[in-house]
């Protein structure tokens, strides 16, 4: 296909309407630098050569990853649109309550106005508005504890095959990676997910390596 590429232009909407949605800031927060318009399309190219099997498999894997990322971005967008519903009919306090909730869940701060950000900075808790490793770890601990409680009461025989710590660990790394992907797989969330995986793998190998050494 033939595309017309246009770089993003800094939006002045935030200055004119502090409580409005700034699409430029939202796109830049998702690492999107430009927009494309489809000008023309052609017939798909079909490669029938058997020597291209490896290239086709790599392309299929890349296509799967891109599709997964697209679906995750769509889910994030739908969640944001849920919070943005009836935005103009709400008071400023109601708008900012939803904006802060969205930021705590996904790290998307595009709906937070300057006054709210200044209040959080004055209180010294502005770091809560961004997704950190603590967010991911607390969610993983809570859900892992709930899973262990459920197994203890419903399926205790499972521990004959899987130790309790492995049940907790599998739940934690699953939650950590899913939540990290949902929040854009930024450095703090990704670091927490990879460290949980590394600590569990070291323990699975039964090597005499302490958790603190793995963290260091």
How do residues 165-208 score in pLDDT, each as one tens digit? 889 999 999 989 988 887 777 788 888 889 889 888 888 887 78
Alpha-carbon span 23 to 34, nearest angstrom = 12
Cα–Cα nearest to 111, from 24, 27, 28, 18: 18
Alpha-carbon span 210 to 117, nearest angstrom = 40
Q: The tokens of 146 are what?
A: 């709930």
pTM assigned to the model: 0.58
What's the pLDDT score for residue 81?
Answer: 85
pLDDT tops 70 at residue 46:
no
Alpha-carbon span 104 to 112, nearest angstrom = 11
Dump pLDDT digits (tens) for 128-160.
777 778 878 888 899 999 999 999 988 888 888
pLDDT tops 90 at residue 83:
no
pLDDT tops 60 at residue 106:
yes
Top-confidence residue, 48 or 121: 121
Dump pLDDT digits (tens) for 5-45.
888 876 554 444 555 667 777 777 777 888 888 888 877 66
What's the pLDDT score for residue 121?
Answer: 82
What's the pLDDT score for residue 170?
Answer: 92
Q: What is the mean pLDDT of the chain?
A: 80
Residue 103: partners with Cβ closer than 8 Å, 6 or more residues away:
109, 111, 112, 129, 130
Distance of CA 174 to the CA centre of its chain: 13
The percentage of the chain sitting over the pLDDT mark of 90, rounded to a whole number, equals: 7
Residues facing 4 on adjacent strands: 37
Assign 47 a pLDDT band (cuts: 50, 70, 90): low
What's the pLDDT score for residue 62?
Answer: 72
What is the distance between the terminal CA atoms of the chain, rounded to a whole angstrom?
49
Residue 191: partners with Cβ closer than 8 Å, 6 or more residues away:
133
């Amino acid at each position: 296909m033939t595309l017309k590429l246009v770089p993003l232009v800094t939006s002045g909407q935030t200055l004119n309407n502090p409580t409005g949605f700034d699409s430029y800031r939202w796109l830049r927060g998702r690492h999107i630098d430009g927009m494309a318009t489809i000008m023309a399309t052609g017939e798909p190219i079909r490669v029938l050569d058997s020597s291209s099997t490896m290239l086709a498999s790599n392309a299929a894997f890349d296509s799967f990853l891109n599709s997964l990322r697209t679906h995750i971005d769509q889910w994030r967008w739908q969640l944001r649109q849920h919070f943005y519903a009836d935005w103009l009919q709400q008071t400023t306090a109601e708008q900012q309550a939803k904006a802060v909730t969205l930021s705590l869940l996904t790290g998307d701060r595009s709906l937070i106005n300057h006054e709210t950000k200044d209040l959080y900075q004055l209180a010294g808790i502005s770091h809560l508005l961004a997704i950190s490793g603590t967010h991911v770890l607390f969610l993983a601990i809570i859900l892992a504890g709930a899973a262990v409680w459920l197994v203890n009461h419903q399926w205790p025989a499972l521990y004959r095959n899987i130790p309790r710590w492995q049940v907790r660990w599998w739940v934690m790394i699953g939650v950590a990676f899913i939540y990290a992907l949902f929040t854009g797989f930024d450095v703090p969330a990704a670091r927490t997910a990879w460290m949980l995986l590394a600590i569990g793998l070291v323990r699975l190998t039964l090597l005499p390596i302490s958790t603190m050494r793995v963290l260091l």
